[in-house]
Amino acid sequence: MAVKKPGGLAGVEAGVTAVSTVGKDGRGLTYRGYAIDDLAERGSFEETAFLLIRGKLPNVDELTDYRRKLDAASRLPETLKRILELLPADAHPMEVLQAGCVALGTLEPESPQRQAADIADRLIALTGPMLLHWHHFHRGEREGATGPPAKSAEPQQAVFTADTADGLPDGDGPDCPAAGEPPQEEAEDPTAVEAAGSRQPSSAGMPVPPDEDYTVAGHFLYLLHGRHAAIRARRVFDISLTLYAEHEFNASTFAARVTASTLSNFYSCIATGIGTLRGSLHGGANEAVMELIERFESPEEAAEATRARLARKQLIMGFGHRVYSVSDPRSDIIKKWSEMLSFWSKDGYLYPVSEAVERVMREEKNLFPNLDFYSATAYHFMGIPTAMFTPIFVIARLAGWTAHIMEQRENNRIIRPTAAYDGPDNLLWLELHARR
């Protein structure tokens, strides 16, 4: 007898939300009524996070205050540093984040004085530093280094830092709007890079960030590379955070809402979200994409291997979607930026390889790339190690999870569906000694 494919709640309206929607025909995407294109291309991640968590876009003063608040919240407590240092070097980065989140919950518990929105801001600001503290601590341990990461220790592809942007002409791609960035040109001042590199490292060898206008994106890239990233890289990273910030009842958000519905605490809801996001059918797909495409050396090889995988009924990660019918609007945005980064970083083949996979998927399966597909190369071209792709998704999605946890709490009923039972019935009880 053929086994029936599980429904996976496809098409089931499992609740009501005012946070975001993909629209009735599964085409567009809006966060609290604002189109994703406007948010990503004209706004900044901090504006998006504020909108999702607080329900409205910030004005100039609110945005300035919000960035200052995040900046101040991005300092790791010493106890948390020590906890992160105790985690094994080969731990899964998503487990490091889960552990860090739960540990922070014991150090700074939710209370009437410290409520969901403030904890969310703290986690948005601290998740990158947590990950990178653990990363640099263990790399220092392995290599016997105590200073900021040496450039040679970074991934071998072009690291998109301020100096590698030197000489690249402006205007060779879409304009890089200055949203979320200080109104200055590329951070190409060699003294700025020098100053960053010569600062005293923290106890774990993680560089102390210099004073600059804080953005979550800029701060992450600075802590990763130990130097300012080029404005273009910061901007694309910022756009990717906005694209990843929210997506209605996706699996991790729904899981976080289920946890919230039991009246559990905020940190537990977030830890649930992180655990659910990790899987390769969800957030983990961006890493799986990179692992797949970097095996190919040419578009021809990629096309042939993709056809072969499909013939073996294997999934190609980064394609397909539960709620979009014709395309993922976020993919169109990140694809354009991935192409630009590919050009700027002088990538000779990875972007064409990705396009070859996309072509075959359209021809053979009529499937389109989702956000995870071109995000993988975009991050890769910024010199971000593959193992950090899904953790970056966490930084962004914290905003969406928080909006949903708060919404669930405002009008709560425990989420507890029914199950159709198809197990055995009326079995005869056998005493222990009579069982085989």
Ligand X SMILES: O=C([O-])CC(=O)C(=O)O
Q: How far apart are CA 410 and CA 332, in angstroms?
A: 35
CB-facing half-sphere around the CA of 211: CA atoms within 13 A: 0
Q: How far is the CB of 412 from ligand ACO (least distance, A)?
A: 26
Taking CB under 6 A as the binding criterion, the range among 204-212, 279-287, 336-344, 346-354 that sits at the site for ligand ACO is 279-287
Token duo for residue 91 = 């731990």
| Catalytic residue, candidates 135, 136, 247, 321 | 321
Using rule CB under 6 A, residue 322 touches ligand ACO: yes
Residue 218: exposure state from Cβ atoms within 10 A (0-12, 13-18, ≥19): buried
Using rule CB under 6 A, residue 320 touches ligand ACO: yes
Per-residue binding letters, 87-126, with ligand X (x by CB under 6 A): ----------------------------------------
372 given a catalytic annotation:
yes
Angle at 326 between CA 320 and CA 331, to 5 degrees: 65
Per-residue binding letters, 56-85, with ligand ACO (x by CB under 6 A): ------------------------------
Using rule CB under 6 A, residue 281 touches ligand ACO: yes
Among 54, 136, 247, 380, binds ligand X (CB under 6 A): 247
Q: How far apart are CA 59 and CA 73, in angstroms?
A: 21
321 given a catalytic annotation:
yes
CB-facing half-sphere around the CA of 83: CA atoms within 13 A: 20
Closest C-alpha to 267, from 71, 85, 398: 398
Q: Count the residues of the shown chain that bind ligand X, applying the rule CB under 6 A.
A: 7
Token duo for residue 31 = 């966060």
Judged by CB, which is closer to ligand ACO: 202, or 386? 386
Per-residue binding letters, 336-375, with ligand X (x by CB under 6 A): ----------------------------------xx----
Q: How many CB atoms lie within 10 A of CB 205?
A: 20
Q: How far is the CB of 243 from ligand ACO (least distance, A)?
A: 9
Judged by CB, which is closer to ligand ACO: 27, or 322? 322
Q: Count the residues of the shown chain that bind ligand ACO, applying the rule CB under 6 A.
A: 19
Using rule CB under 6 A, residue 324 touches ligand ACO: no
Q: How far is the CB of 41 from ligand ACO (least distance, A)?
A: 19
Using rule CB under 6 A, residue 127 touches ligand ACO: no
Using rule CB under 6 A, residue 362 touches ligand ACO: no
Judged by CB, which is closer to ligand X: 48, or 161? 48
Using rule CB under 6 A, residue 286 touches ligand X: no
**Cβ(391)–Cβ(349) below 8 Å:** no
Q: Which residue is nearest to ligand X (CB)?
A: 250
| Catalytic residue, candidates 135, 347, 372, 380 | 372
CA-to-CA separations, 187 to 149, 165, 171, in angstroms, rounded: 19, 9, 17
Task: Give every CB contact of residue 113 below 8 A, 6+ residues apart in sequence.
Answer: none
Using rule CB under 6 A, residue 246 touches ligand ACO: no
User: Side chain identity at 328, as an amino acid letter?
Assistant: D
Judged by CB, which is closer to ligand ACO: 229, or 243? 243
Using rule CB under 6 A, residue 322 touches ligand X: yes
**Cβ(157)–Cβ(345) below 8 Å:** yes
Task: Give every CB contact of residue 86 below 8 A, 6+ residues apart in sequence.
Answer: none
Using rule CB under 6 A, residue 365 touches ligand ACO: yes
Q: How far apart are CA 229 and CA 15, in angstroms?
A: 41
Beta bridge partners of 319: 369
Task: Give every CB contact of residue 425 below 8 A, 6+ residues apart in sequence.
Answer: none
- The set of catalytic residues is 321, 372
Residues that bind ligand X (CB under 6 A): 247, 250, 282, 322-323, 370-371
